[in-house]
């Protein structure tokens, strides 16, 4: 580890307007804490940047002194890539500005903004862009990995709606990347993760959404899980309109008010329903789902889009210990469904669950080389959430997730969503970037030849 002298730190403090936090300083432990409680790293210095100029100075400081560099936006990444041990952290978490141009239907979003910040501003004007499903997720990390959510079938991946980025590259230069300026860098930023610089500002295309949509949950007992998932597969592949999206959650039933008390804590299969079409056609669009079996309970109806974006927040709050494993699927084989429902009956913790996100639609019609995000054949993204509270549960919860991963691997595409990779999964980096890896490595060589931005699912610069 390079030595930071008092003179070095004084130089850094004079160069930036934001706070420079050291391990003994008040606020340091809060600033190094990230969403996943299994990640516990102590950086040498944290720079809480106030603007792009601070980012430039921090990048230059880290590069010139050979420090490991991490970039924190929302701090929500499962691998904990927002923090590093013994290096320098560029902390953008206070940069939460969102500006909306309703005439042009464009949003300008700062690098530390959360989905909740975006939705608050955009939904005041009945606008949105495809983002995730958890309001505490950082816009930056989600976008740089590709990004998908409830609107993806209708409007594509998050990166399909990205118009431009302000980015500070490893040479300390501020650049604007778009389809016409620095187009290779722009291509790489749309799915290449945090490998190419510090993105301080995003420009997104917006769509008319809400503020009211039709959403809700249909909850089936686990005993009907295999039947429900097979019918779901048929419906998703043959009859689901693109303004409807339905995800699957297999877990213990939360104590939701529309469920009988006898069902609380029981094994269930949940269909999470989102409809952004003509309200008069909502019932007809959703009605087939009710025929999949006898529900334990149901709550479906009009709701604010912003509220639905927060509906899963209680299941993904900060402070718990987390370990994920993920696969992409082009279809759901019977054997894969059997494995999913069987492992859902052996959850290692009341907090654990299995998510199956439906992508498809517009996202599948984009060529795989149009953006760095390459997985345009993925119709379903399965994420196994091993989630627990106590250190002594680590081994059992991690083993369950790994066993499940291996059991479903034969039926997956081999690709994986980069934002769902844990820190240990360096062997899957090639699978995360797919056929676009070689081009990404060449662009990495151009913009970051020394691999300054390496605390991520790393792309090594091409020789």
Q: What is the pLDDT of residue 95?
A: 96
Cα angle, residue 276 at apex, residues 215 and 154 outer, rounded to 5°? 125
Residues 370 and 343: beta-carbon distance below 8 Å: no
| Beta-carbon-side half-sphere exposure of residue 343 (alpha carbons within 13 Å) | 25
Model confidence pLDDT, tens digit, residues 212-266: 999 999 999 999 999 999 999 999 999 899 999 999 999 999 999 999 999 999 9
SS3 label, residue 328: strand
Using an 8 Å Cβ cutoff, are 131 and 118 in contact? yes
Per residue of the chain (463 residues), what is the pLDDT tens digit? 678 899 999 999 999 999 999 999 999 999 999 999 999 999 999 999 999 999 999 999 999 999 999 999 999 999 999 999 999 999 999 999 999 999 999 999 999 999 999 999 999 999 999 999 999 999 999 999 999 999 999 999 999 999 999 999 999 999 999 999 999 999 999 999 999 999 999 999 999 999 999 999 999 999 999 999 999 999 999 989 999 999 999 999 999 999 999 999 999 999 999 999 999 999 999 999 999 999 999 999 999 999 999 999 998 889 999 999 999 999 999 999 999 999 999 999 999 999 999 999 999 999 999 999 999 999 999 999 999 999 999 999 999 999 999 999 999 999 999 999 999 999 999 999 999 999 999 999 999 999 999 999 999 999 9
Structural domains in the chain, CATH included, are: 6-91 (3.30.43.10), 98-209+435-447 (3.30.465.10), 212-420 (3.40.462.20)
Question: What was the pLDDT predicted at 368?
Answer: 97
Tokens coding 27:
């606020």
Whole-number Å distance between alpha carbons of 128 and 139: 13
The whole-angstrom separation of Cα 18 and Cα 138 is: 20
């Amino acid at each position: 580890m390079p030595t930071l002298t008092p003179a070095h730190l004084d130089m850094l403090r004079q160069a930036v307007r934001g706070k420079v936090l050291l391990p003994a300083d008040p606020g340091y432990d809060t600033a190094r804490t990230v969403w996943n409680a299994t990640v516990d790293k102590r950086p040498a210095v944290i720079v809480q940047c106030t603007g792009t100029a601070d980012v430039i100075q921090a990048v230059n400081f880290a590069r010139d002194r050979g420090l490991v560099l991490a970039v924190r936006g929302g701090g929500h990444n499962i691998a904990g890539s927002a923090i590093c041990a013994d290096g320098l952290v560029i902390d953008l978490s206070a940069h939460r500005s969102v500006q909306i141009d309703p005439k042009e239907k464009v949003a300008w979003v700062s690098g530390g903004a959360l989905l909740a910040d975006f939705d608050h501003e955009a939904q005041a004007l009945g606008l949105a862009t495809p983002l995730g499903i958890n309001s505490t997720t950082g816009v930056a990390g989600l976008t740089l990995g590709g990004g998908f959510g409830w609107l993806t079938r209708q409007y594509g991946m998050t990166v399909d709606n990205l118009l431009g980025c302000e980015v500070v590259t490893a040479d300390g230069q501020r650049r604007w990347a778009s389809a016409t300026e620095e187009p290779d860098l722009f291509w790489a930023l749309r799915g290449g993760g945090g490998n190419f610089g510090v993105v301080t500002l995003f420009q997104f295309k917006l769509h008319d959404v809400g503020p009211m949509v039709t959403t809700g949950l249909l909850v089936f007992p686990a005993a009907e899980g295999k039947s429900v998932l097979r019918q779901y597969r048929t419906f998703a592949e043959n009859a689901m309109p693109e303004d409807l999206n339905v995800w699957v959650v297999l877990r213990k039933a939360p104590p939701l008010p529309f469920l009988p008390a006898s069902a609380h804590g029981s094994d269930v299969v949940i269909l999470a329903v989102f409809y952004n079409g003509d309200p008069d056609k909502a019932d007809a669009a959703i009605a087939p789902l009710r025929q999949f079996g006898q529900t334990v309970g149901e709550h479906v109806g009009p709701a604010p889009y912003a509220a639905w974006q927060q509906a899963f927040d209680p299941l993904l709050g900060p402070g718990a210990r987390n370990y994920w494993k993920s696969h992409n699927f082009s279809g759901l084989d019977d054997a894969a469904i059997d494995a999913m429902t069987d492992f859902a009956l052996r959850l290692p913790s009341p907090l654990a669950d299995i998510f199956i996100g439906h992508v498809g639609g517009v996202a599948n019609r984009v060529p795989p080389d149009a953006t760095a995000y390459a997985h345009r054949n993925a119709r379903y993204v399965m994420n196994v959430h091993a989630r627990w509270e106590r250190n002594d549960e680590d081994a059992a919860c991690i083993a369950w997730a790994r066993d499940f991963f291996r059991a479903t691997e034969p039926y997956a595409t081999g690709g994986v969503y980069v934002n769902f990779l844990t820190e240990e999964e360096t062997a899957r980096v090639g699978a995360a970037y797919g056929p676009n890896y070689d081009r990404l490595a060449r662009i990495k060589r151009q913009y970051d030849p020394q691999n300054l931005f390496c605390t991520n699912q790393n792309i090594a610069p091409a020789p």
